[in-house]
Chains A and B, each alone.
Chain A
Amino acid sequence: MTVTAMVLPYEAALAAYDPVLGLEVHVELNTATKMFCGCATTFGAEPNTQVCPVCLGLPGALPVVNEVGVESAIRIGLALNCTIAPWSRFARKNYFYPDMPKNFQTSQYDEPIASDGWLDVELSDGSIYRVLIERAHMEEDTGKSLHVGGATGRIHGADHSLVDYNRAGIPLIEIVTKPMTGVGERAPEIARAYVMALRDLLRALDVSDVRMEQGSLRCDANVSLRPKLDDDQETVPLGTRTETKNVNSFRSVERAVRYEIMRQAAVLHDGGRVIQETRHWHEDTGVTTSGREKSDAMDYRYFPEPDLVPVAPSSEFVAALRQTLPEPPGERRKRLQTAWGYTDLEMRDVVNAGAVELIEATVAAGATAAGARKWWSGEVARRANAEGVDVGEYASASGLTPAHVAELDQLVTSGRLNDPMARQVLEGVLAGQGSPTAVADALGLQLVQDDSALEAAVDAAIAANPDVTEKVRGGKVQAAGALIGQVMKQMKGQADAAKVRELILAKLTS
């Protein structure tokens, strides 16, 4: 049924057309209650258990603004370098849809809480691109429809639909960029980098869970193309845009923008016209397909929400909120990377694993920066990944603390444990058997420090393997591995392999 559209190769598309990018990001706030009522906002609760007359839109019910939601909106606006409106209003966006209880969404229209800001994002080549922010406004989320019985899970072809109103009324902040022009081939990369930078910023502000896979961070990508002319490109009018929805990962943001550039280029190249419409991104096939046509006929009949009073934050209030802003993530990351001595690649792994705070706390608890990274973005990240959770969640679920990891690191650096032993100890800690030292004691794990026992084992191994010994003496140093293995076996693993190697080489090459 889905018709795969023709695409032009990316390089050819870029040679002929200048892409213009705009991004709309919806952020679900992590407030304890909904935007206009006192219902809980816990993700994943039984359907329709977090509802009341207000968020169900029952006749007669009225909204009351969540003050924490307004504070979060202002903090987001400030962190995005926006102007905070001294007077701002909610507006009703009117359209009929079963998952919207009132058949209008309480949103903001021409009087948003925050406008005209920017966010600097770092690209892979280390350069900084400044994304200009048009506005950030407050609104409520809709309910969630589940279409049952169809092949696609979409409304068409479904037998019936179920609606869960738990999500209806969850506070949302919609952040809209200004159109990004002149970004050329970097459009997909900028799109991804922007959403990631926004995620980091929102996480640092602690205003949202920012989990794309749970829908607490949602991105709609607007892409248009205009012909590429030689001279003053800025005077060329913008082309017709499409809005791609359902982009649920950072990688998808990049891929969807890239795909739309290639698809639209093919349409234009064939002399066709791009249709202004909503398109859906398909993660599996890597294509977008046409959704509803979003023409000028869609008239939301916005008007100021008469059930709510204007939001008029005083300048003192805004100034006080400004004091609560965290260090900008970019600066903070740079500061920590320098302090920890990580390479760019190492730092990116740490950030992607969501382990920056954990490493910071682990270093503060006495670990080396290298050791902290080795555990958190190595062994622990691997285990978290296997369970499909992030490192922070894995740590809190298993009771693993930065202090534990710092202790583990010290046991290694002090020479008591080698890496395989330390991993064994970690296993015990995760199983709730106590602190790393306690686990190591209980298991009797301790590298052999007695040089005479070690030397005896080394001598025995040399005597038992004359041919290997001969090779090593002849200069084939790597052959010593077999001897090291024998010694380790003899010592039941409780020896420092580096030290064994040192002893063997000293005896055979001197």
Chain B
Amino acid sequence: MTTDLTRLAAAEMARLLAAREVSSVELTRAHLDRTADVDDEVHAYLCLDVEGALRTAAEVDQRRIAGESVHLLAGVPIAVKDVLATRGLPTTCGSRILEGWIPPYDATLVGRLRTAAMPILGKTNMDEFAMGSSTEHSAWGPSHNPWDLTRIPGGSGGGSSSAVASFQAPFAIGTDTGGSIRQPAAVTGTVGVKPTYGGVSRYGLVALASSLDQAGPCTRSVLDAALLHAVIGGHDPMDSTSIDAPVPPVVDAAQRASVEGMTVGVVRQLGGEGYQAGVRERFDESVQLLVDLGAKVVEVDCPSFDYALATYYLILPSEASSNLAKFDGMRYGLRVLPSGVADPDAEQVMAATRDAGFGPEVKRRIILGTYALSSGYYDAYYGQAQKVRRLIAEDFARAFQVADVLVSPTAPTTAFPIGEKLDDPLAMYLNDVATIPANLAGVPGMSIPSGLASEDGLPTGIQFLAPATEDDRLYAAGAALEAALLDRWGGPLLDRAPELPKGA
């Protein structure tokens, strides 16, 4: 077989596996070989599980040969963001403080991947504890954008987005607290979905901000995202915030691929000042395509979205300051003894460990959150932020009375050069200005490629938002637009990405 297996869609890989035209071992090995070739440059993975992935692949092949019925995606390999607990595989969350920790248990969604017999290739890079929009805050060095290796692949899930965009995995798991699936998708020309809050179990997802975190698919097509969503979604009794209802009919919706009769709302507050002209241009073009496809387009007003970023940067650090308290060197991970202290007590060891183990962005947010929750400041900061959060949810509710889905550019700019915003946290935070409202309200969002910006030739993304538990609308609309764009481009956008240099 001469075709490069790694460039196929996951759905196509699944078809070939089912037809036994290709084996899972071949497919898995093809991806591992690709990683060996390109990941020195891309740095998508923090660790690989070559043995485990090939073992799972071989087992699936055996089961297929034996005529057993297996899951649709059985044997299709996958990459998992390093923020999810994987039994027997290191899980660092991009932080030194978890160096050496090997979880004794699987996150629920990882368990579902294993049940579906999907080989797990490895764990992908991320900003430390998912705090960042570029992977530059990873303790293990940044990942690189396959479109331009001097640029960021987005964050925090830049490892997953770059792995998928560089064909090192057909798809990957990401997590999205303020845009960490969608923004990396936008800047790498891939698809990313943040499901409805509670749609995918958070058990085993190392919490950044519990009320905002949500895991979801990172893929190269809307259908692949739907197939993966169906595997990982659904109720989990181990997560109290998990929705006790079946997964929305996402695969059907992706296959239907239609916006006929849909009303699409363009959010006035997301897309004006601060958005790169090329991003805006590709967005407008996509909106016009949606009209051509039979959608009605209206403008919707969500005035409280202007306060979303500020609100987010009070709620997130508050929850994070508490969630990250457990990393103290007492039970697992890094332990650092304070220097110059003869007989340190537990508290001094905790302080020394946290000082050495956490990077500057994590410390910044822990301090912010600790302050915001302090007595005397709680009402003014955390309390007030919760009120604005409710207003944002009300804005969404009003908008969804007139529109079935909302759209906006996913990120205000294309991928920026590594290092450019590292010393300017506020500029970095602005990357998520369009994605954050969905997390605050718990509604689902999807980013798909909308083209290349004319000024720099880098990928741009369009974001779809739907009401909570109506995730299938994203897939119907996203797949419709995707098909129209592929038509226009004459093939996948990623075909236009440069060839990556192959390592030694």
Q: Which residues of A contact B319 (CB under 8 A)?
A: 303, 306
Interface size band for A: 20 to 34
From residue 142 to 172 of chain A, which have CB atoms closer than 8 A to chain B? 155, 161, 163
A9 CB → nearest B CB, Å: 40
Task: Verify if B326 is at the interface (C-beta below 8 Å from A).
Answer: yes
Note all chain A residues with C-beta closer than 8 A to B322: 92, 94, 104, 301, 303
Q: How far is the CB of B82 from chain A (nearest CB, A)?
A: 11
Provided the pairs A59-B103, A301-B373 are in contact, do residues A101 and B202 lie with their beta carbons within 8 angstroms?
no
Q: Mark A83-109, 1 if CB is under 8 A from B, else 0.
A: 000000000101010100111100000
Known: A94-B325, A98-B346, A301-B373. A60 touches B207 (CB 8 A): yes
CB pair B373–A63 under 8 Å, yes or no, is no
Contact A96 B241 (CB under 8 A): no
How distant is the Cα of A306 from the Cα of B84 in the complex, in angstroms?
19
B72-80, B296-304, B327-335, B448-456: which lies at the interface: B327-335
Report the nearest A residue to B324, measured CB to CB. A103
Which residue of chain A lies nearest to B371 when distances are taken between CB atoms in the complex?
A301
The smallest beta-carbon distance between B468 and chain A, in angstroms, is 15
Closest residue on chain A to residue B98 by CB atoms = A59
Instruction: Note all chain B residues with C-beta closer than 8 A to A306.
Output: 209-211, 241, 319
In the assembled complex, B139 has its CB within 8 A of some CB on chain A:
no
Query: For the complex, is B358 an interface residue (Cβ under 8 Å from A)?
Result: no
- B211 A303 Cβ-Cβ under 8 A: no
The one of B85, B240, B331 in contact with A60, judged by C-beta atoms closer than 8 angstroms, is B85
Interface residue from B104, B318, B327 paired with A303 (Cβ < 8 Å): B318
A61 lies within 8 A of B93 (CB): no
Distance to closest chain A CB from B315 (angstroms): 9
Question: Are A299 and B240 within 8 A (Cβ)?
Answer: no
Q: Which listed residue (A59, A64, A92, A96) contacts B237, Cβ 8 A?
A: A64
Q: Which residues of A contact B103 (CB under 8 A)?
A: 53, 58-60
From B186-194, B266-274, B279-287, B374-382, the one touching the partner chain is B374-382
Nearest-neighbor residue (CB-CB) of B107 within chain A: A60
Residues from chain B with Cβ under 8 Å of A61 in the complex? 105, 203-204
Is A57's beta carbon under 8 Å from chain B?
A: yes
Interface residue? A308 (CB, 8 A)? yes
Are B382 and A303 in contact, with the CB atoms below 8 A? yes
What residues of A have a CB within 8 angstroms of the CB of B104 in the complex?
Answer: 53, 58
B495 in contact (CB, < 8 A): no
Question: Is the C-beta of B238 less than 8 angstroms from some C-beta in chain A?
Answer: yes
Cα separation A413 to B501 with both chains bound (whole Å): 103
Interface assignment of B177: CB less than 8 Å from any CB of chain A: no
Verify if B91 is at the interface (C-beta below 8 Å from A): yes
1/0 per residue A419-454: CB within 8 Å of B? 000000000000000000000000000000000000
Are the C-beta atoms of B204 and A309 separated by less than 8 Å?
no
How far apart sit A96 and B104, CA to CA, in the bound complex (Å)? 24
Minimum CB–CB distance from B342 to chain A (whole Å) comes to 13
Distance between Cα atoms of A96 and B241 in the complex (Å): 26
Q: Which residues of chain B in 69-107 are interfacial with respect to chain A, using CB atoms and an 8 Å cutoff?
A: 84-85, 91, 93, 98, 101, 103-105, 107
Q: Does A62 contact B (CB under 8 A)?
A: yes
Apart from A59-B332, A60-B84, 8 more pairs, CB < 8 Å: A56-B331, A57-B331, A58-B103, A60-B103, A62-B202, A62-B238, A62-B239, A64-B238
Q: Could you list 19 examples of A-B contacts with CB < 8 Å?
A: A59-B98, A59-B101, A60-B205, A60-B207, A62-B202, A64-B237, A64-B238, A65-B240, A96-B325, A161-B346, A163-B330, A299-B374, A299-B375, A301-B378, A303-B319, A303-B378, A306-B241, A307-B207, A309-B241
Partner-A contacts on B (CB < 8 A): 84-85, 91, 93, 98, 101, 103-105, 107, 202-207, 209-211, 237-241, 318-319, 321-322, 325-328, 330-332, 345-347, 350, 370, 373-375, 378, 382
Q: Closest 9 A-B residue pairs measured CB to CB?
A: A103-B325, A306-B210, A301-B373, A306-B211, A60-B204, A59-B206, A60-B85, A60-B206, A98-B346
